[in-house]
Amino acid sequence: MADNKEQVFDIPKTCKAGVVVNEGPDFHVEVRDVPVPEMSMHLLPPAESNEVLIKLNATGVCHSDLHFMLNDWALPKMSELGTQCAGHEGAGVIVKVGSNVKTLKPGMRAGLKPIQDTCGACELCRTGNECYCAGAVLTGLTINGSYQQYVVSPERYTTIIPDGVSDFIAGPIMCSASTVYTSIKESGLQPGDWAVFPGAGGGVGMQGLQLAKAMGLRPVAIDTGAEKKKLCIENGAENFIDFKHTSNVAEEVVKICDGVGAHAVFVTAVQSYPSSITFLGGRVGGKIMCIGLPPAGKFHIDVDPNQMCFKKQSVQGTLVSGMGDVDKTLQFAQRGLLKPICTVYPLSQFNEVVQKLRRGEIAGRAVIDFNSE
């Protein structure tokens, strides 16, 4: 006979968190004890009894976190919104559920995504574009994010992590891997098409290489250095172009891609936006897929309308993934097609990791282990 007894967890009054101090160019992150959040209303109508409390074991560290802490986007400061913890790549276990939660149970593994909740009723939410909902709650900006070990999530927008996917893989899937999956899917590329990744040695790019390979595409990596070349080839790149040792990167891309040009360029490194259009060459139907988010007002793409028309080329953006695409990306990991590309750090190195990411010194993805101090 099945044991239907619900798991019970001891929930502390406080938990560890990476708290941003001095938002702006001179910010840093301090590890502090903060109160464990109560299940309560946020920006949407009261939903206390429909929420779950998640104890995170791991959080990825994302470039978007840097922008929130640097305050270099055209957005309010975190502190002005009552937020002290960035982060939106959390993975852990549900330890408490509200009285009206229907399906989720304590003990189930769950993740925290860049969007904590949406209105669920607008046209965007009803057409698979919920990430663009005007009522979206932005994790790590409008509410405390995954730099805090205990977080609250509404049942209807909580992602369940399947068996066989570790928290250190699942955390980055909540944002970086799933976002690049959505971008590849929305590009419409077919098996055998050339997919070019400027900034391929970073976390988003390297996950993009793996997913592109798994989806039957021919990935070309652009980055620099022997370490990143090795990692990119190991993670699915068919070719690697070292931009520091290549006199004309665009010519080399076109040469590799049938002498015509890329079918799509997935821009994860924002410095590549100005040159990205040249990688399309003469490819009819070629697409620039914008993924990396630069500081406000920097790094533009100079688009020639004639080129767009005569070559049927286009530029398109992807913000983050909706629920369905996050689930799809987790399935790639469960099947062994999306492997870990992260370095795991203890809590004590939180600020060091964030600053290393800011300086561009991290290959792959950085993940903080909440259970290692």
CATH architecture, domain defined by 177-317: 3-Layer(aba) Sandwich (3.40)
At 41 the pLDDT is 46
At 340 the pLDDT is 87
Q: How confident is the model at residue 43 (pLDDT cuts 50, 70, 90)?
A: very low
The pLDDT > 90 percentage for the chain reads 88
- CB neighbours of 207 closer than 8 A, spacing ≥ 6? 172, 176, 177, 180, 338, 341, 365
Cα separation, 49 vs 139, whole angstroms? 20
Q: pLDDT digit string (tens) for 232-263?
A: 999 999 999 999 999 999 999 999 999 999 99
Q: What is the DSSP string of 318-347?
A: -----HHHHHHHHHHHHTTSS---EEEEEG
Mean pLDDT of the chain: 94
Q: What is the average per-residue pLDDT within 47-74? A: 91
Q: How confident is the model at residue 40 (pLDDT cuts 50, 70, 90)?
A: low
For the cut 90, the answer to whether the pLDDT of residue 38 exceeds it is: no
Domain boundaries, the chain: 14-161+341-369, 177-317
Among 49, 178, 165, smallest CA distance to 109 is for 165
Q: pLDDT digit string (tens) for 95-141?
A: 999 989 999 999 999 999 999 999 999 999 999 899 999 999 999 99
Q: What is the pTM of this model?
A: 0.94
Q: How confident is the model at residue 274 (pLDDT cuts 50, 70, 90)?
A: very high
At 48 the pLDDT is 54
Q: What is the average per-residue pLDDT within 205-225? A: 97
Please state which of the ranges 27-41, 79-93, 173-187, 266-280 shows the lowest mean pLDDT: 27-41
At 3 the pLDDT is 54
Q: Do the Cβ atoms of 138 and 114 come closer than 8 Å?
A: yes
Q: pLDDT digit string (tens) for 148-163?
A: 999 999 999 999 999 9
Q: How confident is the model at residue 4 (pLDDT cuts 50, 70, 90)?
A: low
Name the residue with tokens 């990596």. 221
For the cut 80, the answer to whether the pLDDT of residue 47 exceeds it is: no
At 234 the pLDDT is 95
For the cut 70, the answer to whether the pLDDT of residue 49 exceeds it is: yes
The pLDDT > 70 percentage for the chain reads 97
Give the right CATH number for 14-161+341-369 from 3.40.50.300, 3.40.50.410, 3.10.20.30, 3.90.180.10. 3.90.180.10
Lookup: tokens for 132: 């663009």
Q: What is the average per-residue pLDDT within 208-215? A: 98
Between the two ends of the chain, the Cα-to-Cα distance in Å is: 41
Q: How confident is the model at residue 1 (pLDDT cuts 50, 70, 90)?
A: very low
At 125 the pLDDT is 95
Q: Do the Cβ atoms of 180 and 199 come closer than 8 Å?
A: no
At 275 the pLDDT is 96
